[in-house]
Amino acid sequence: MSQSILVVLSSATLQDLKFLDSTSQGVVSLSSVERVYEEAKEKGRKVVFASPGGASPQFDIEDLSLEQWFAQNNSLFSSLTDLSTAREEDYVALVIPNGIGALSDLHQNQHLSSLVATFIRNKKPICAIGYGVAALLKVQKEEDESNQTWFFENWNLTSISNFELARYPFFFKLPLLIEDSVRERGGSFSAGAVDSLFVVADRYLITAANTISTSLAMQNLLWLCSS
């Protein structure tokens, strides 16, 4: 079995996300991506980065140390795998880091939805962090389009909560609220204190509330990979 982990990044641009203000720097959290990569590397797991169309992501580089890390590791993102070519059998796990771009392209990506369902059916772990949980919202239990039952109905999840989002000026412009969407689809949503470490594990699905929870979420995922 392959030991590689598939990490899916949004390829949305700031122009795609009309609700963001002019101070926004990017749509994928580099801090979350860095933690995913380093935690996997520490456990000897190869990481394969993929995005819709294989396009390079627009990273939100949160501080100087991340800027330095990116300068040293930018070759990791020079040639991403086209998400449409990714196959479940080639990977041991799937990770979707935090990034508001997921509300645009990953939320609507049918191939990713199919991959998620196949991973879970084959008992392979999935980790979705923050806005990355939006990529789970279109996953259905059956491939038949007439069946509208959400795959994660009655599962426990977390993500960035409505309360946390309400702090931002773009709150009322968001195309969807993940907390509401999870509840509407029959899932159980829970949240911790604002900006706190918070992770939920349910069977083979691990969800995290925010970027600072990335390391803990990845440690859970890597434990599942080795169990």
pLDDT 10s digits, 89-130: 999 999 999 999 999 999 999 999 999 999 999 999 999 999
pLDDT at position 147 over 90: no
CA 220, CA 206: separation in Å to the nearest integer? 7
Residue 97 near residue 29, CB atoms below 8 Å = yes
Amino acid at 102: A
Residue 163: the pLDDT is: 96
Please give the backbone phi and psi of residue 207, each rounded to the nearest 5 degrees, phi first: -125, 145
Under the banding of pLDDT at 50, 70 and 90, the label for residue 19 is confident
SS3 state at 126: strand
CA distance 153 to 187: 5
pTM: 0.95
Q: For residue 76, which of 41, 43, 101 has the smallest C-alpha distance?
A: 41
Residue 44 has pLDDT above 70, yes or no: yes
Number of helical H runs and strand E runs in the chain: 6, 11
Q: What percent of the chain has pLDDT over 70?
A: 96
- How high is the mean pLDDT of the chain? 93
CA atoms of 226 and 6, how far apart (whole Å): 16
| CA angle, residues 225, 209, 113, in degrees to nearest 5 | 60
Give bridge partners of residue 95 from the DSSP assignment: 7, 127
Indicate if the pLDDT at residue 143 is higher than 60.
no
Q: How far is CA 49 from CA 115, 121, 188, 189, in A?
A: 15, 22, 30, 28
Q: Which of 66, 62, 30 lies closest to 49 in space, CA to CA?
A: 30
Whether residue 192 is predicted with pLDDT greater than 80 in this model: the reply is yes
Q: What is the pLDDT of residue 110?
A: 95
